[in-house]
């Protein structure tokens, strides 16, 4: 079979991409373990595996090679995650753009991989050599160089593959951070594994994921974050008409670094490292429909991969109101809950902050709703976490208030063979949930075992409570927490109810008051009774854009409880949506005084 007369059939094209994808997935842990550029956050393997899994799950064998490769390209851009994943997806889009019907001979294939490398290069705001794009270009050049020196296409692919491996080995010579850590570039290595799988398919070989056992990889010890000064790896999939990729790239550059913009004029995947994901999404929401979002905390990922304080990973959801300083101090992994505004899904406390939400609350025609975590997002989250932790403790918002607990339980089941994951229902929300998470963090810091931690926290969920002084029922009516009839009666009577949570985790009206003064007095009376009977181990004040009321609460209860509040903070956007502007609450964990 002469290389210049070779035709890659539609079926073999599809099979080659599938086996290439599987080959990358097999190397997930290895790729994570050598990930030091652009940030040593240990997730390159997870990101590439996510994109490859999307190709395996979403792409279809079409009637022609053009249909097949377009299906693969669509699946790639939808499933792309991380810097390397999005660059790779753009590579596949470039490859697909030159395929017409079933005419894939040697020349067409070489032209396609050359175009693919150019597409990938152009998607990056500031390309860096010694990375994936360097190996992509080397492979394309090798295909051109060896096409007349080989007798068949498989031999040509083999020679070009060897050239790609040699270029991979040279990546430390071109990028100092790789040389310093004595590793090759993780993204480039992922690309080489894809080619390896592609060649296996041409030879009639298979890659079986079901038989593979993911081994534990010895990890690098990196002392500090490299290159990027920004904290959040931020991504979006946007859809629209006549989207201008160059314009998006130019206008987003000022918000961060490591910017990659890939896709078509109708579907675009964006990746950027930034300190303000909410600013990125505020910009995008004015220009296109945001279909998907992803934000990874690179600081927390870096710590998980290289500087873990504890053997147990502590996880909670964003409804737990806890200051960022404490979240950082104890390396808590906080998973954001979804908030749906104008048909766009935002991440609580990450892609939308309470300050912006307060400005929108009274102007939205359709009131926002919350949604439980996306199963795929949770799966990716646990996939990364269990790469570095053998034990995970998850404390969620009350099961009666959200499907979050069940979503975590179901996702955790998929990883029971690789880690011991305990998922607990806090039966609380907001500040009470936050105090329980803080207590769990302190117990882990003290060296408690996972079994003991679970037992202690089970006993504490019944000792936690939150009392919420609602300024108006308007927001609870709009969010559906109370009926319109109740809202009308409440408005007529000027009700200022105190909201709490019962022992089963169900929201209740704790007391009814006709004024904020009365509401405050009833909360104070309750707290005094608890202090007298049990004592209070810790308490916190949380509020919805009501700093002055919160300050007064803090001063009042400091005197009553005899200690400072653990913290005073603005509440979760999700909780604010239900409780409304002006709300103030005291949360506490009672003591053991007889």
How far apart (Å, rounded) are the C-alpha atoms in residues 91 and 104?
Answer: 17
Indicate whether 357 belongs to any domain. Answer: no
Asked if residue 542 and residue 397 are part of one domain, the reply reads: no
454 pLDDT more than 50: yes
The whole-number pLDDT of residue 218 equals 45
Indicate whether 405 belongs to any domain. Answer: yes
Asked if residue 417 and residue 388 are part of one domain, the reply reads: yes
Domain containing residue 137: 3-202
32 pLDDT more than 50: yes
Residue 277: count other Cβ atoms within 10 Å of its Cβ. Answer: 31
The whole-number pLDDT of residue 228 equals 53
How far apart (Å, rounded) are the C-alpha atoms in residues 416 and 466?
Answer: 33
The whole-number pLDDT of residue 492 equals 42
The whole-number pLDDT of residue 157 equals 93
Instruction: Give 286-307 pLDDT, tens digit per residue.
Output: 899 999 888 989 899 889 988 9
Asked if residue 197 and residue 59 are part of one domain, the reply reads: yes
The whole-number pLDDT of residue 2 equals 44
Torsion of CA 83, 275, 296, 79, to 10 degrees: -40
- In whole angstroms, how far apart are CA 592 and each of 285, 437, 535? 50, 19, 7
- State the average pLDDT over residues 523-537: 96
Indicate whether 281 belongs to any domain. Answer: no
Asked if residue 449 and residue 544 are part of one domain, the reply reads: no
- How large a percentage of the chain has pLDDT more than 70? 92
- How large a percentage of the chain has pLDDT more than 90? 69
pLDDT category of residue 40 using cuts at 50, 70 and 90? confident
Indicate whether 218 belongs to any domain. Answer: no
The whole-number pLDDT of residue 306 equals 83
How far apart (Å, rounded) are the C-alpha atoms in residues 533 and 237?
Answer: 54
pLDDT category of residue 149 using cuts at 50, 70 and 90? confident
- State the average pLDDT over residues 136-160: 93
pTM of the model: 0.79
CATH number at residue 132: 1.25.40.340
Q: Which helix (H) or strand (E) holds 251?
A: helix 245-252
The whole-number pLDDT of residue 224 equals 52
485 pLDDT more than 70: no
261 pLDDT more than 90: yes
86 pLDDT more than 80: yes
Asked which of 1-10, 475-484, 511-520 is least confident by mean pLDDT, the reply is 475-484
The whole-number pLDDT of residue 493 equals 46
CATH number at residue 424: 3.40.50.10440
CATH number at residue 553: 3.30.1180.10
Give the domain-ending residue among 439, 461, 483: 461
Alpha helix (H) ranges present in 471-561? 474-478, 484-493, 516-533, 547-561
Alpha helix (H) ranges present in 286-374? 298-306, 324-329, 354-361
Indicate whether 559 belongs to any domain. Answer: yes
Asked if residue 468 and residue 435 are part of one domain, the reply reads: no
Indicate whether 504 belongs to any domain. Answer: yes
- In whole angstroms, how far apart are CA 495 and each of 178, 486, 498? 64, 10, 10
Number of domains in the chain: 3
- State the average pLDDT over residues 169-184: 95
215 pLDDT more than 50: no
Asked if residue 496 and residue 394 are part of one domain, the reply reads: no
The whole-number pLDDT of residue 92 equals 97
Asked if residue 453 and residue 476 are part of one domain, the reply reads: no
Asked if residue 474 and residue 420 are part of one domain, the reply reads: no
- The dihedrals phi and psi of 417, each to the nearest 5 degrees, come to -80, -15
Asked if residue 472 and residue 411 are part of one domain, the reply reads: no
How far apart (Å, rounded) are the C-alpha atoms in residues 47 and 38?
Answer: 14
Give the domain-ending residue among 184, 202, 220: 202
Asked if residue 387 and residue 526 are part of one domain, the reply reads: no
Asked if residue 537 and residue 417 are part of one domain, the reply reads: no
pLDDT category of residue 225 using cuts at 50, 70 and 90? low
Indicate whether 285 belongs to any domain. Answer: no
∠ Cα 349 419 22 (to 5°):
85
The whole-number pLDDT of residue 90 equals 96
Give the domain-ending residue among 202, 221, 245: 202
Asked if residue 189 and residue 95 are part of one domain, the reply reads: yes
The whole-number pLDDT of residue 281 equals 94
Q: Which is nearest to 384 in space by CA: 451, 333, 445?
A: 333
- State the average pLDDT over residues 96-102: 85
Question: Contact at 8 Å (CB) between 88 and 120?
Answer: yes
pLDDT category of residue 345 using cuts at 50, 70 and 90? confident
Q: What value does the mean pLDDT of the chain take?
A: 89
The whole-number pLDDT of residue 363 equals 79
pLDDT category of residue 216 using cuts at 50, 70 and 90? very low
The whole-number pLDDT of residue 486 equals 46
pLDDT category of residue 494 using cuts at 50, 70 and 90? low
Indicate whether 255 belongs to any domain. Answer: no
273 pLDDT more than 80: yes
């Amino acid at each position: 079979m002469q290389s210049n007369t070779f035709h890659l059939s539609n079926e073999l094209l599809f099979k080659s991409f599938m086996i290439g994808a599987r080959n990358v997935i097999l190397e997930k842990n290895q790729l994570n373990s050598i990930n030091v550029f652009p940030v040593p956050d240990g997730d390159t393997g997870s990101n590439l595996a996510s994109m490859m899994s999307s190709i395996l799950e979403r792409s279809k064998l079409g009637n022609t090679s053009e249909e097949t490769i377009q299906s693969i390209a669509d699946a790639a851009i939808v499933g792309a995650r991380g810097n390397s994943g999005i660059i790779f997806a753009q590579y596949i889009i470039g490859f697909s753009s030159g395929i017409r019907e079933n005419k894939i001979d040697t020349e067409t294939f070489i032209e396609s991989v050359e175009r693919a490398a150019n597409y990938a290069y152009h998607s990056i705001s500031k390309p860096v050599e010694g990375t994936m794009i360097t190996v992509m270009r080397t492979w394309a050049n090798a295909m051109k160089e060896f096409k007349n020196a080989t007798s068949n296409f498989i031999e040509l692919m083999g020679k070009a593959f060897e050239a790609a491996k040699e270029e991979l080995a040279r990546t430390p010579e071109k990028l100092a951070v790789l040389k310093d850590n004595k590793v090759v570039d993780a993204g480039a290595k992922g690309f080489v594994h894809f080619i390896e799988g592609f060649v296996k398919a041409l030879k009639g070989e298979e890659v079986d994921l079901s038989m593979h056992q993911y081994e534990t990889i010895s990890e690098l010890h990196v002392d500090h974050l490299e290159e990027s000064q920004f904290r959040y790896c931020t991504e979006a999939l946007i859809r629209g008409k006549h989207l201008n990729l160059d314009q998006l790239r130019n206008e987003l550059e000022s918000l961060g670094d490591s910017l990659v913009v890939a896709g078509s004029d109708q579907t675009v995947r964006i990746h950027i490292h930034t300190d303000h994901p909410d600013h990125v999404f505020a910009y995008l929401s004015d220009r296109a429909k945001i279909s998907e979002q992803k934000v990874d905390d690179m600081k927390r990922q870096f710590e998980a991969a290289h500087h873990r304080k504890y053997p147990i990973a502590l996880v909670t959801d964003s409804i737990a109101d806890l200051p960022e300083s404490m979240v950082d101090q104890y390396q808590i992994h906080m998973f954001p809950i979804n908030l749906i505004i104008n048909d766009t899904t935002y991440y609580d406390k990450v892609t939308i902050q309470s300050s912006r939400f307060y400005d929108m609350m009274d102007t939205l025609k359709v009131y926002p709703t919350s949604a439980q975590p996306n199963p795929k997002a949770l799966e990716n989250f646990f996939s990364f976490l269990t790469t570095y932790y053998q034990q995970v403790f998850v404390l969620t918002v009350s099961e009666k208030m959200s499907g979050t607990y069940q979503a975590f339980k179901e996702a955790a089941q998929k990883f029971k063979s690789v880690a011991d994951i305990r998922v607990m229902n806090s039966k609380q929300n907001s500040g009470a949930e936050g105090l329980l998470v803080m207590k769990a963090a302190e117990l882990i810091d003290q060296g408690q075992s996972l079994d003991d931690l679970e037992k202690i926290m089970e006993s504490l969920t019944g000792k936690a409570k939150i009392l919420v002084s609602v300024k108006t029922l308007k927001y609870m009516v709009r969010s559906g927490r109370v009926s319109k009839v109740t809202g009308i009666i409440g408005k007529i009577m000027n009700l200022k109810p105190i909201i709490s949570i019962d022992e089963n985790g169900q929201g209740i009206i704790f007391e009814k008051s006709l004024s904020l003064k009365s509401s405050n007095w009833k909360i104070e009376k309750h707290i005094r009774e608890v202090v007298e009977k049990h004592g209070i181990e810790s308490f916190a004040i949380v509020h919805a854009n009501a700093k002055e009321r919160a300050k007064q609460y803090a001063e009042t209860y400091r005197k009553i409880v005899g200690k400072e509040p653990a913290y005073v903070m603005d509440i979760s956007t999700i909780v604010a949506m239900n409780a409304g502007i002006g709300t103030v609450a005291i949360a506490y964990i009672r003591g053991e005084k007889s």
